[in-house]
Amino acid sequence: MDRSQTAEREIVAQQQTDQLDHDVLVVGGSGVDTVVRVDSLPVPLADSVSVGPILEWPGHTGGNVALGCRNLGLNVKFLDYLGDDWTGERVRERLARGDVDFEALISPAGTRRAVNLVEKTGRRMSFHDGRDPDDLRMPRDFYLPHLERARHVHLSITNFARFLYDDIEALGVPVSTDLHDWDGLADYHKDFAFRSDLVFLSAAGASERIASVMREILREGRAEAVIATAGAGGSYVMSREGSRTPRPVRATVPPAPVVDSNGAGDAYVCGFLYGRLAGRDVEECARLGAVAGAHACTGKGNEALIGPDELLAA
């Protein structure tokens, strides 16, 4: 590790000793992924299709961000609803194994699930069972003490998380979110898109309209930067202080064969937030995100998490 990287690690370590002892507070988005490997997507219509071993991985987007940030040495607090069921226990066990400080309220609807069809190249199609009732709300006395101790908040796009924005803004805490494959049109995502300081999304959702969607987020919302990930095509960044043309950031070549792209976007967020909390600019953060995302593709589920030494060395 060179001198600048050592200095950066010291900055992060010093910040962790400050009064704001949650580097990242993650809210919402835990669950269990069932991964089914198929020859190609879309899957041919048939009564029965023979596949390889079906695997299950606890994590989901919120859990993956919490695990990834913790593996980078950040102090992480994770709050969510979780079912009192066997899938919920698997989530708790994985987060405990990853040394994530996790507190959960019991969801009457049970733990969220997703079934992901993954082809040989790592491309996937996900069937997401969010299952939270629309009227579910996280009690203010449960989350507020943690907001007050957080340097940064990352909200998953679970419905109840949108109701934390008023308190986040009142406290002046920076907040990020991941809109995943938002097409730029669905109303559900707009609170998250227009009330977050950092907005991540997949370029696949809006396809050829992604540049205009990124511009709309900056124009209509409070975002300082919008980051669109494009898998092997790299990523694109657009910031309030820069031009309104997406600036490309090259993808990083994975250090080993690609096994599974599930969680790569979440890992990208972790690498980006690590750079952000260390004071790096948007392009540098995006490059760290690309490294973390590529590393995540080399293992199953959320098992290939990058550490700070590997991230900075790359």
Does residue 244 or residue 211 have the better pLDDT? 211
Q: What is the pLDDT of residue 276?
A: 97
Those residues whose C-beta lies under 8 Å from the C-beta of residue 198, and which sit 6 or more positions away, are 174, 175, 176, 177, 223, 224, 225, 227, 272, 276
DSSP codes joined into one string, the chain = --HHHHHHHHHHHHHHTSS--BSEEEES---EEEEEE-SSSSPPP-S----S--EEEE-HHHHHHHHHHHHTT--EEEEEEEESSHHHHHHHHHHHHTT-EEEEEEETT---EEEEEE-TTS-EEEEEE----TT----HHHHHHHHTTBS-EEE-S-GGGGGGHHHHHHHT--EEEE-TT--S--GGGHHHHHS-SEEEEEHHHHGGGHHHHHHHHHHHS--SEEEEE-GGG-EEEEETTS-SSPEEEPPPPPSS-----TTHHHHHHHHHHHHHHTT--HHHHHHHHHHHHHHHTTSSTT--PPPHHHHHH-
Cα–Cα distance measured from residue 116 to residue 148, given in angstroms and rounded to the nearest whole number: 36
Do 270 and 310 touch, CB atoms closer than 8 A? no
Distance (Å, whole) CA 314 – CA 292? 9
Specify which residues 227 forms β-bridges with: 200, 237
Q: How does pLDDT run across 179-197, given as a tens digit for each residue?
A: 999 999 999 999 999 999 9
Pairwise CA distance, residues 229 & 237, whole Å:
9
Alpha-carbon distance 237 to 145, whole Å? 33
- pTM value is 0.90
Q: What is the mean pLDDT of the chain?
A: 91
- Asked if 5 and 312 touch (Cβ cutoff 8 Å), the reply is yes
Measured distance CA(74)–CA(54) in Å, rounded: 32
Confidence band, pLDDT 50/70/90 cuts, at residue 3: low
Q: What distance in Å separates the CA atoms of residue 302 and residue 45, rounded to the nearest whole number?
A: 30
pLDDT digits over 215-227, tens only? 999 999 999 999 9
Beta-carbon contacts of residue 28 (< 8 Å; ≥ 6 apart): 62, 79, 80, 81, 155, 156, 157, 158, 160, 161
Q: Write phi, then psi, for 79 (nearest 5 degrees).
A: -120, 140
What's the sign of the alpha-carbon dihedral 301, 40, 211, 187? Answer: negative
* Residue with the two structure tokens 């071993």: 53
Q: What does each C-alpha distance from 127 to 100, 118, 187 come to in angstroms?
A: 26, 11, 20
Of residues 230, 308, 310, 291, the one with CA closest to residue 10: 308
Any idea which residue has 């299950």 for tokens?
56
- Residue 84: count of CB within 10 angstroms of its CB: 12
Per-residue pLDDT tens over the stretch 148-179: 999 999 999 999 999 999 999 999 999 999 99
Is the backbone peptide bond immediately before 254 cis, with ω within 30 degrees of 0? no
Each residue's pLDDT tens digit, 80-139: 999 999 999 999 999 999 999 999 999 999 999 999 898 877 677 889 999 999 999 999
